[in-house]
């Protein structure tokens, strides 16, 4: 019997260690552990292998994730002052804001769960029609709805519609070199019949409505405003956006399609100032059309825009650092390029997706995970999207405009 004691102790210790590796208790920010049943490092949300208590134990203690080499350094977002509010102990103009450890109290979807809401949270934010703690959108729900949106994208390009010539792949450390390693264009062929589809045509009509230099105010005439409404009208006819609206209504985020469309118009097309106190930017301009600030390209995350500018000789494709795992469209490419004299160090974009597909996924992530990495699933493959709200101005009870949205990815 005595000979069995060491064996029993070893077994018990092993079980205890295994139990430890199923929790993030005392493991937040540790390095990737190959033998662990689940992980607690910064990258586990992107790989979908976090322990169940990761978000509860680790994320409330962390700063918002910093950009990594694959991610973009959206400088205009990061330059925002730490304290934008005259009354940081209040939820005035802060409903839906991302968690910020430097704030004395919070106004986000999970503050009731952690007991750190500001005192006026219910009175200022509660009337929006849903309980934050009860109706917070889970990772599993995000993955489920993103798969439905993926399957619903019937307007996407087929394999024969696009021929890519991705050429040289470089390491993230080489992106600052500004060296053209690809002598040929990225797009060898695109079936432009795609562009006659209603959502494509409505999308393309918007791209020439903007001045790309920040600091120069945008002024829309009646036709341009009508084009915004036409785009929203066309995308809302698609199965992709019907899936998104149905999901968000089920989550009690919107009570009617009219309310949903109105909010989309504000968050995407509402103007704000990135420089010189001019209303010179919007989420749509930044993400889909692209901007120039301080001599650099910012935003510009759309394959249609890239193709059209490359066709006109205004975009010179340099290289790429990431090519998604998909063997059909939509795919994802993270690339470097020169846009009419200005360099883009890392620009991720879906390739071959319909306009409504990108619009839906970015909107979903901005609504569900503003300022955070948003974990999705497309065709069984994990994909993450990062969004940031524009914190210097707001609309409609403190709601934030979209500052940027883009695909992120990395490998351990």
What are the residue numbers of the active site?
286, 301, 344
Q: Identify whether the C-beta of residue 321 lies closer than 8 Å to the C-beta of residue 398.
A: no
C-alpha–C-alpha distance, residues 402 and 299, integer Å = 12
Q: Identify whether the C-beta of residue 116 lies closer than 8 Å to the C-beta of residue 105.
A: yes
DSSP, residue by residue, 31-78 = PP-TTSSSB-STTHHHHT-B-TTHHHHTGGGSPPPPP-TTS---HHHH
Say if residue 157 is preceded by a cis peptide, omega within 30 of 0. Answer: no
C-alpha–C-alpha distance, residues 172 and 152, integer Å = 33
Q: Which distant-in-sequence residues (6+ apart) come within 8 Å of 368 by Cβ?
A: 137, 142, 374
Q: Which residue has the tokens 């006026």?
A: 120
Q: Identify whether the C-beta of residue 162 lies closer than 8 Å to the C-beta of residue 191.
A: yes
Residue of 88, 47, 86, 82 whose CA lies nearest to 64:
82
Look at strands 291-293 and 381-395 and give their pairing.
Answer: unpaired
C-alpha–C-alpha distance, residues 187 and 194, integer Å = 15
Q: For residue 385, what are the β-bridge partners? A: 374, 407
Q: Identify whether the C-beta of residue 384 lies closer than 8 Å to the C-beta of residue 373.
A: yes
- Alpha carbon 408 to chain centroid, angstroms: 8
3 state DSSP class of 106: strand
C-alpha–C-alpha distance, residues 46 and 122, integer Å = 32
- Alpha carbon 10 to chain centroid, angstroms: 46
Residue 207 sits at φ, ψ, to 5 deg, of -70, -25
């Amino acid at each position: 019997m005595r000979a069995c004691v060491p064996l029993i102790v070893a077994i018990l210790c092993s079980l205890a260690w295994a139990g430890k590796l199923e929790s993030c208790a005392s493991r937040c920010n540790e390095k990737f552990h190959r033998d662990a049943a689940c992980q607690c490092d910064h990258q586990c949300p992107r790989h979908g292998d976090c322990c169940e208590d990761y978000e509860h134990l680790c994320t409330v203690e962390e700063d918002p994730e910093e950009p990594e080499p694959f991610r973009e350094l959206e400088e205009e977002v990061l330059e925002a002052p730490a304290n934008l509010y005259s009354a940081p102990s209040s939820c005035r103009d802060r409903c839906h804001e991302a968690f910020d450890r430097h704030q004395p109290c919070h106004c986000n979807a999970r503050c009731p769960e952690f007991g750190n809401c500001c005192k006026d949270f219910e009175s200022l934010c509660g009337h929006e029609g849903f309980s934050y703690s009860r109706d917070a959108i889970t990772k599993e729900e995000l993955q489920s709805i993103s798969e439905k949106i993926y399957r619903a994208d019937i307007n996407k390009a087929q394999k024969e519609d696009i021929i890519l010539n991705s050429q040289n792949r470089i390491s993230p450390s080489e992106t600052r070199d500004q060296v053209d390693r690809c002598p040929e264009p990225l797009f060898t062929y695109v079936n432009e019949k795609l562009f006659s589809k209603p959502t494509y045509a409505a999308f393309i009509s918007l791209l020439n409505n903007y001045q790309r230099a920040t600091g120069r105010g945008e002024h829309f005439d009646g036709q341009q405003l009508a084009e915004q409404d036409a785009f929203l009208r066309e995308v809302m006819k698609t199965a992709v956006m019907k899936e998104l609206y149905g999901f968000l209504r089920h989550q009690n985020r919107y009570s009617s399609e009219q309310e949903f469309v109105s909010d989309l118009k504000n968050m995407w097309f509402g103007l704000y100032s990135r420089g010189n106190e001019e209303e010179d930017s919007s989420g749509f301009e930044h993400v889909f059309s692209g901007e120039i600030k301080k001599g650099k390209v910012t935003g510009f995350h759309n394959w249609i825009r890239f193709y059209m500018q490359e066709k006109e000789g205004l975009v010179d494709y340099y290289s790429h650092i990431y090519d998604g795992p998909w063997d059909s469209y939509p795919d994802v490419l993270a690339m470097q390029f020169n846009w009419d004299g200005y360099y883009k160090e890392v620009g991720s974009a879906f390739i071959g997706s319909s306009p409504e597909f990108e619009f839906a996924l970015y909107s979903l992530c901005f609504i569900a995970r503003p300022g955070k990495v948003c974990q999705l699933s497309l065709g069984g493959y994990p994909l993450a999207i990062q969004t940031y709200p524009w914190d210097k101005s707001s609309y409609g009870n403190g709601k934030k405009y979209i500052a940027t949205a883009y695909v992120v990815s990395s490998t351990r």
